[in-house]
Structure 1
């Protein structure tokens, strides 16, 4: 990758990935795009362009004018939000991806397109869900991601395109607010732990889901896109995983630093039904074998970093003090 166009650059992944890519490849070599007017480091530390990914002509023009050789396509409606607006989610998630593939094909670009644990339904094993497992998703988000994996494979097989992707678990970040994902409750829990010292979980005790800290997700994207093509057998939709946790596990990790933190439960039926259909933990052995995937953060290391950043972000005057070691 030398000149990279990022869509959804103001979103949860994009806001941090764009900054990291500019550190690696230079500010002028990464074009951040989003449908919103640019705010924050992703928009301000390098070139930025308004882009509606459902506009196929605008997508192609952006890739051509920037002379991109790689496209990182992140624009999407996430799981819980997609269930409230399923037609919008299909149009954006599938229409945007198709436009990304066509723009990349027209200009000979490599393409990264993320997938999700949401592709797996109740027929897949809950523990150590294998790389190649049955996909019967029961949500519009999962359906669009599963169809997206097939579409990416189609373009690779039919046109010889270099299309790569990861199946992300829940991603936790201190930089971006919760964005409508089912696993975003974890981000909100950390925020409320710092701000109020208490949290009501929308998922029930014992609801285990895969999670990953954003720095690991960012490095995984870069590592996969830079991996030698000859090593890659799957190329698209690699399982990646760092930890399998439920709300109580996160709360226990927080209490190492905030002993008085209180966790309650106010289960959201929509989010609970989505979570119940997802795997507890993914088998990431294919990613480890084919491009040396490894996560650096476990739960406690993630918690320590989250609380440290959020305490600074919200200020000591309105946050509960984080005890040091």
Structure 2
């Protein structure tokens, strides 16, 4: 990777990976883009372009202008938000990806498009879910992610576009707030623990889902894109995970640091239905074998780091 365009650069992943990649590859070599700008570090500390991925010419213009060789395609509408507006989810997630792949084909760019555990559905094996298994998702987000994996495979097989991707679990960040996903509670709970010592969870007790701390997610993107292509048997559907927990377990871990913390429940049936359709845990053997995937954070390490970083950010002492 030498010249990198990041779409959806103001989202939860994009806002962090742009800053991280600029340190690694140089500020002028990582171009951030989104359909709007605003005031933020991503837009103000490096090159920024207005790019709506549903408009192919805007993607093409940015690639040509900056001589891009790698596109990190993050622009997407997530699971919970997508159920509120399925048409918009299809437009952004599918038409946007098609435009990016077409530009990549024409300009000979590599493309990284993260997928999601949302590709799985109620009929998928729930525990230690294999990488290659039955995928019948019940959300528009999941439908677009399955189709996106297949489309990326198609562009590699037919046009030799260097497409790569991993299935992200829920992502937890101390920098950017999440953008309408089913696993968002696992971020909000830390903020509320520090601010109010109380959190009302929108998922039921015992709802297990795979999760990952953002530093590991950022590493995964770079590691996969830098991996030797000759070793990649799979390309656009790598299971990756770092931990699996339910609301009670994350609450118990927080209580080790904030003993007064309490959690109650007000279940959102629509979001719960999505969570129930996803796996409890993933098998990420192939990612570990093919490109050396190895996360650094478990629940205990992540919780300590989240509380330390957020206490500084919010100017709240908890120790």
Q: Shorter chain as normaliser: what TM range?
A: over 0.9
TM-score by length of 2: 0.99
**Does 2:245 align with 1:245?**
yes
TM-score by length of 1: 0.97
Q: Secondary structure at the match of 2:184?
A: helix
Following superposition, the deviation at residue 41 of structure 1 comes to 2.1
**Does 2:139 align with 1:136?**
no
Deviations 1:188-218 (A, max 9, x none): 1111111111000000000000000000000
Report if the CA contact (8 A) 1:171-1:211 is conserved: yes
Paired position in structure 2 for 1:286: 286
Report if the CA contact (8 A) 1:239-1:286 is conserved: yes
Report if the CA contact (8 A) 1:178-1:185 is conserved: no
Q: How does 1:199-278 map to 2 (within 5 A)?
A: 199-278=199-278
Q: How does 1:66-215 map to 2 (within 5 A)?
A: 66-215=66-215
Structure 1 alignment gaps of length 5 or more: none
Q: Secondary structure at the match of 2:303?
A: helix
Following superposition, the deviation at residue 256 of structure 1 comes to 1.0
Following superposition, the deviation at residue 315 of structure 1 comes to 1.3
Deviations 1:40-93 (A, max 9, x none): 222122100111110011111111111000000000000000000010000110
Deviations 1:276-312 (A, max 9, x none): 0000111000000000000000001100111111111
Following superposition, the deviation at residue 38 of structure 1 comes to 3.9
Q: In structure 2, how many angstroms separate the alpha carbons of the residues matched to 1:17 and 1:204?
A: 32
> How many residues are treated as equivalent by the alignment?
319
Q: In structure 2, how many angstroms separate the alpha carbons of the residues matched to 1:125 and 1:278?
A: 9
Superposition RMSD in Å:
0.7
Deviations 1:220-261 (A, max 9, x none): 100000000001000112100000011111101101110110
Displacement over 6 Å in runs of 4+: none
Paired position in structure 2 for 1:9: 9
Q: In structure 2, how many angstroms separate the alpha carbons of the residues matched to 1:37 and 1:5?
A: 15
**Does 2:52 align with 1:52?**
yes
Report if the CA contact (8 A) 1:38-1:48 is conserved: no
Q: In structure 2, how many angstroms separate the alpha carbons of the residues matched to 1:104 and 1:304?
A: 41
